[in-house]
Amino acid sequence: MVRAAVLPAVGAPLEITDIVLPEPAPGRVRVRLAAAGVCHSDLSLSNGTMRVPVPAVLGHEGAGTVVAVGEGVSHVAPGDGVVLNWAPSCGSCHHCGIGEVWLCANALAGAADLHARTADGTDLHPGLNVAAFAEETVVAGNCVLPAPDGIPLTDAALLGCAVLTGYGAVHHSARVRAGESVVVFGIGGVGLAVLQSARIAGASQVIAVDVSPEKEELARRAGATDFVIASETTPRDVRKLTGGQGADVAVECVGRAATIRSAWESTRRGGRTTVVGIGGKDQQVTFNALEIFHWGRTLTGCVYGNSDPARDLPVLADHIRAGRFDLSMMVTERIGLDGIPAAFDHMIAGRGGRALVVF
């Protein structure tokens, strides 16, 4: 028996309860979690914005130590530190074949599998494949990556989603160039990773935008040169800070129609906007044909930072060990499993950076 946070039904409160995990079958790995980040996607799964089979154990950003491996697993062994990869590429679909592993058609196939059972025998699914809101989990072999040397597992947990997403949004999707100006909307866990990544990319000006004034200090620690309180005048405020032009690049980490539109309007003529935030299908963003022609701006989606974890984790590890990227500053709250509901409430209220469940 291990303790886990279970979503019994869409919209229902999380239940902290005992679950029974199977022994790892061929090709699978059992991991004892060191820590798991509480991501906005977990909130979106719990409220139905994103759909997964339920009941499910949530949590998709984590790191831990291998306890046991099933037959055929050779890339990790008991005692190894690993980072969980919630969106493993299958290697055989169209997108994997052309190198777009972040769009793998089969990445979330495992979410429909049976993962564990509650003490009363109820079957559970693994939310987003890895079910990290638990003391231990059993995952497919391609859902674990060797943890980088020299980085504590509690910090490495953030690599599994927030950091890969934020870093990739800057370097792979927006492709920020040295000397460009960047505006970042939403200073949560991913937004903090975007700010640090923009600084690493050599951005000349990094503007943070958030509804909460208390996030200014945190944003500046992450690399923001300016801070703007989100409002209807945000695009005008950003233009004032950028010589009347607007930012070269905007990265939206909220997933709301109004924020996406504001991010787009905050860029210069010919500017680029990358949308990282996951919004509901009711969030409709509108543009007229003339403004699309006149402004010549680009608006792009971004899945998992357009990242390939196997390629990007070693690069990120170098930045972390060199002190260019600070994982610990992103964590504004360390909690137990029973603190997850309150962490969801803090997200809704726009408070803090990343809450981290530490086991």
- My answer on whether 282 and 216 are in the same domain is yes
- My answer on whether 76 and 147 are in the same domain is yes
pLDDT score recorded for residue 350? 82
Chain centre distance of CA 108: 15
Q: Give mean pLDDT, residues 213-237.
A: 97
Nearest Cα neighbor of 269 from 294, 235, 240 is 294
User: Residue 104 in contact with residue 96, Cβ under 8 Å?
Assistant: yes
Per the domain annotation, does 144 fall within a domain? yes
- My answer on whether 41 and 78 are in the same domain is yes
Domain end point (choices 303, 318, 349): 303
Residue with tokens 């061929």: 26
Share of the chain above pLDDT 70, in %: 100
Residue 111 pLDDT more than 90? no
pTM of the model: 0.95
- My answer on whether 188 and 244 are in the same domain is yes
How many domains, the chain? 2
- My answer on whether 10 and 136 are in the same domain is yes
Per the domain annotation, does 312 fall within a domain? no
Per the domain annotation, does 316 fall within a domain? no
Q: Which domain holds residue 268?
A: 166-303
- My answer on whether 153 and 12 are in the same domain is yes
pLDDT score recorded for residue 52? 84
Query: In the structure, what pLDDT confidence band is assigned to residue 8 with cuts at 50, 70 and 90?
Result: very high
Q: Give mean pLDDT, residues 67-81.
A: 97
- My answer on whether 100 and 174 are in the same domain is no
Residue 156 pLDDT more than 90? yes
CATH of the domain at 107: 3.90.180.10
- My answer on whether 18 and 142 are in the same domain is yes
Structural tokens at position 215: 């996030």
pLDDT score recorded for residue 47? 87
**271-284 pLDDT per residue, tens:** 999 999 998 889 99
Which amino acid, residue 261?
R
Residue 248 pLDDT more than 90? yes
pLDDT score recorded for residue 246? 98
Per the domain annotation, does 150 fall within a domain? yes
Per the domain annotation, does 309 fall within a domain? no
Per the domain annotation, does 318 fall within a domain? no
CATH of the domain at 275: 3.40.50.720
Query: In the structure, what pLDDT confidence band is assigned to residue 305 with cuts at 50, 70 and 90?
Result: very high
- My answer on whether 149 and 174 are in the same domain is no
Domain end point (choices 288, 303, 318): 303
Per the domain annotation, does 267 fall within a domain? yes
User: Residue 140 in contact with residue 42, Cβ under 8 Å?
Assistant: no
Q: Give mean pLDDT, residues 135-142.
A: 97
Beta bridge partners of residue 334, listed in sequence order? 356
- My answer on whether 124 and 264 are in the same domain is no
Q: At 261, phi and psi to the nearest 5?
A: -65, -40
Chain mean pLDDT for the chain: 95
* Ramachandran region, residue 153 (left: φ > 0; alpha: ψ -120 to 50; beta: rest): alpha
pLDDT score recorded for residue 347? 87
User: Residue 320 in contact with residue 151, Cβ under 8 Å?
Assistant: yes
Residue 49 pLDDT more than 90? no
pLDDT score recorded for residue 99? 95
Query: In the structure, what pLDDT confidence band is assigned to residue 223 with cuts at 50, 70 and 90?
Result: very high
CB atoms within 10 A of CB 340: 23
pLDDT score recorded for residue 27? 97
Q: How far apart, in whole angstroms, are the C-alpha atoms of residue 215 and residue 317? A: 26
Per the domain annotation, does 19 fall within a domain? yes
Interaxial angle between packed helices 340-348 and 40-47, expressed in degrees from 0 to 180 and rounded to the nearest 10: 100
Nearest Cα neighbor of 174 from 258, 54, 274, 85 is 274
Query: In the structure, what pLDDT confidence band is assigned to residue 349 with cuts at 50, 70 and 90?
Result: confident
Nearest Cα neighbor of 258 from 278, 286, 238 is 286
pLDDT score recorded for residue 187? 96
**291-304 pLDDT per residue, tens:** 999 999 999 999 99
Nearest Cα neighbor of 112 from 54, 44, 194, 166 is 54
Beta bridge partners of residue 185, listed in sequence order? 209, 252
- My answer on whether 79 and 209 are in the same domain is no
- My answer on whether 115 and 185 are in the same domain is no
